[in-house]
Amino acid sequence: MGAELRTAWKSITYTMLILDEMVDFVCNLCSHLCCCRAVSEPETQNPASGGEMDGGGGGGEGITHRTVAVNGINMHVAEKGEGPVVLLVHGFPELWYTWRHQIHGLAARGFRAVAPDLRGFGDTDAPPGVSSYSIFHLVGDLVALIDSLGQDQVFVVGHDWGAMVAWSLCMFRPEKVRAVVNLSVAFTPRKPARKSVEYLRSLYGDDYYVCRFQEPGAAEAEFARLGTALVLEKFYTYHSPDPLFIPKEGWGSPDTEIPLPSWLSKDDIKYYASKFEKTGFTGGLNYYRCLDLNWELTAPWTGAHIKVPAKFIVGDVDLTYHTPGIQDYIHKVGFKSYVPLLEEVVVMKGVGHFINEEKPHEITVHIYNFIKKF
């Protein structure tokens, strides 16, 4: 009898996987067919970009773009679908566009996927001054966005800096978050005796990318020398567990040609570059320049726990997964003690930092399988 049950269970599991693949196939097919009709049907306009057509950067059929006034800035938002809201929060050097695959996948599964450009990125305002990018500003933007959507609670998914902002949202305003799925960056408690940048400099030295970002204008000048597209290619193709260094003597030649992985196209780079060429990198770099300010501002939350149902996903080739001590913290008692409602940790083999683009289908399924429980 036990053997029969095991056989039946395997059959059911296999059928579920096949059905899941079929959903993605049909969604992609529909998106392709709709795109083929774009000659006769105008694409959605992006008000934040002055009404210009999105072209290849629209992310596919059905994604709408609008501008929302939140927390003193105008925020560009891309969204699709009907149902419970899933707020998708990008990192550096990313945009709403990094979630294009998940937007379609979650919308097809009965959710309303909402992906903003964070402040300082893309078609969202970039206030002057480093202090305008404190963690309080970033979380305040999301709280105001959630309110503007008419929601009391939403699901939140974050990657890289987006994960850090999502963890902080859960810490400051847990009543706003039904459940959280974060990628690449685990929640780590504030260390009262150790400032963030100071600690990273002690580990890796001045050429470590976070340390190199601290001086206003320095990284911007190097990026301008290399060219926006090449800088983005360098970041997106970094697929190594080793720390990332940007030497003061230069981060390579502007004539360098970098082969792109299968999951990243020239059109993708072109779209990212079109936005960063317009805004520059300063807004995104200011997030790193606020690290020590955030350390000071969050002193009252020393020892705070994240009391929201959570799932964490990371690639085993992600450089964040190889910070000294992080694997023991994630897999032993540390992470779970600070995030008591942490239900699952997933380590994806052979996957790098830009996990939601490198493994789009798998990440969509991981998100869906977790949030559907709530």
Contact 293, 137 (CB under 8 A): no
Q: 147 is written with which tokens?
A: 């309110």
Cα-based distances in Å from 18 to 5, 22, 191, 364, 373:
20, 6, 46, 15, 21
Q: Is 288 a catalytic residue?
A: yes
Q: Is 353 a catalytic residue?
A: yes
Query: Of the residues 54, 117, 123, 160, which is catalytic?
Result: 160
H or E segment at 369?
A: helix 360-371
The one catalytic residue in 65, 353, 366, 368 is: 353
Please say whether the dihedral angle defined by the alpha carbons of residues 108, 111, 112 and 114, taken in this order, is positive or negative: negative
Contacts of 324 (CB under 8 A, 6+ apart): 203
The residue from 288, 329, 338, 368 that is catalytic is: 288
How far apart (Å, rounded) are the C-alpha atoms in residues 220 and 225? Answer: 9
CB contact set of 151 (below 8 Å; sequence gap of 6+): 85
Catalytic-residue membership of 160: yes
* Catalytic sites, residue numbers: 160, 288, 353
